[in-house]
Structure 1
């Protein structure tokens, strides 16, 4: 008996064709808006990190295929990290603070990786390359 493929782990195919300069710019903004949202809300694991990608994706998804693809990618990645951040918060609360021994170092490592990956994604989007984050739950398809 064969097991059907797991849609969560399989990234969607990249859009075909060469994106225009405007599409590349908006795709770059979709990725970088997560950093801006993290700065404005004071942390990268909250709602702020995915509001920017969500707005850009909703506004441009029907007119720009490359932005549709990269906006979804940025949105899925940042929602995934918000879920991880929430899980670390819950761990800290249910262990009456003892979980902070895990949550703080994990949060620092995840935060640095998040920043690096978002910058790499923005650079790739500027080049017209459909970037795929290495870890992402594909909630928006």
Structure 2
């Protein structure tokens, strides 16, 4: 489903978008890419299905990419990790921005390459 059949309040869209955008707090705060979305999700998950869905999706993606980043860092020892680290970083930024835009439009978004820890 791409568009919700029921109307969404602009606050729901904003909090859903924040679930994705707060991943960029990881540039400033250690583990911020996971902590930021986690805080919004925990505060708003019971108030909105839309925020709950986007929060879980963001958390799944951030945790998955943290795992991929650790593996990629280990692969630097055999040089391929340099290429995979750069590729992961570019994909992470691009997919996070796309998810943020979709949330602000009131649409569902499923990240690719994501392990579903929260369902």
User: How far is the alpha carbon of 1:76 from its aligned partner?
Assistant: 0.2
* CA distances 1:69-106 after superposition (whole Å, capped 9, x unpaired): 000000000000001111223344xxxxx32x111211
Q: Which position in structure 1 is the counterpart of 2:114?
A: 136
More helix by share: 2
Q: 2: CA distance between counterparts of 1:87 and 1:48? A: 19
Unaligned runs of 5+ in 2: none
1:26 to 15, 18, 23: 15
Alignment correspondent of 1:40: 28
Indicate yes or no: 2:41 matched with 1:57: yes
In 2: Cα distance, 1:136 partner to 1:18 partner: 28
Kept in 2: contact 1:31–1:53 (CA 8 A): yes
Structure with higher Rg: it is: 1
Return the offset for 1:16.
5.8
* Alignment partner, residue 4 of structure 1: none
Taking structure 2 as the reference length, what is the TM-score of the superposition? 0.89
- Aligned length in residues: 118
Gaps spanning 5+ residues in structure 1: where?
A: 1-13, 93-97
2:50 — aligned with what?
66
Structure 1: how far apart are the matches of 2:32 and 2:70? 13
RMSD of equivalent CA atoms:
1.9
| Correspondence for 2:66 among 78, 82, 87 | 82
CA distance in 2, matches of 1:79, 1:15: 26
